[in-house]
Amino acid sequence: MPRETGRATVFAAGLHGTRSVASTDATRPRLCHDRRVRPTVLIVDDHAEFRASAAELLAAEGFDVVGSAGDGAAGFELALRLRPQLVLLDIQLPDRDGFAVAAQLAEVEQAPAVVLISSREAAAYGRRVSEAPVRGFIAKRDLTGAALAAFVA
């Protein structure tokens, strides 16, 4: 069971991906079959419902979601503490925008890969997306394990 702190959720290692989930597409193969090499992900988004649904989706598709945060400061702190391979980072956060958080993360030793997300299209942000120190951008409605896996290498 994740531990909710109000600003961030930290998942106990190995516990969140072990339960059975009934689904109409339950036979669909995972992107990563070996649980020992599942890419670790931190989700930073100010909408709790999106964090929860994204965590379920990514876990079902072979990712190890190690935590989540509701604002940029908490996301940055968790990234430093948890050292995920990938940070799924919303652009519009309550305390600072995702571009500022991505720039801050890029300066960290062994920086995680960052993929920006938004309910808007990338074009709404102009050149800021292409100039940001990130692996890429995914519109929230297009988030899938396969779309995210394309940025993990």
pLDDT one-digit tens code per residue, 18-56? 433 333 444 444 444 444 579 999 999 999 999 999 999
In the CATH hierarchy, which fold is given to the domain comprising 3-12+39-149? Rossmann fold (3.40.50)
Q: What is the pLDDT of residues 92-148, one digit of tens each?
A: 999 999 999 999 999 999 999 999 999 999 999 999 999 999 999 999 999 999 999
Q: Where are the domains of the chain?
A: 3-12+39-149
Task: Give the number of other CB atoms < 10 A from CB of residue 41.
Answer: 26
Parallel, antiparallel or unpaired: strands 64-69 and 8-10: antiparallel
Angle of CA points 79, 149, 94, to nearest 5° = 40
Helix, strand and coil content of the chain, in percent to the nearest 5, comes to 35, 20, 45
pLDDT in tens, 58-91: 999 999 999 999 999 999 999 999 999 999 999 9
Residue 3 confidence (pLDDT) above 60: no
Per-residue model confidence as pLDDT tens digits over 112-126? 999 999 999 999 999
* pLDDT given for residue 21 in this prediction: 37
Q: Is residue 118 within a helix (H) or strand (E), and if so which, with residue range?
A: strand 113-118
What predicted TM-score, i.e. pTM, was given to this entire model? 0.78
Share of the chain above pLDDT 90, in %: 74
Q: What is the pLDDT of residue 9?
A: 57
Kindly tell me if the per-residue pLDDT of 15 is higher than 80: no
Length of the chain: 153
pLDDT at 37: 76
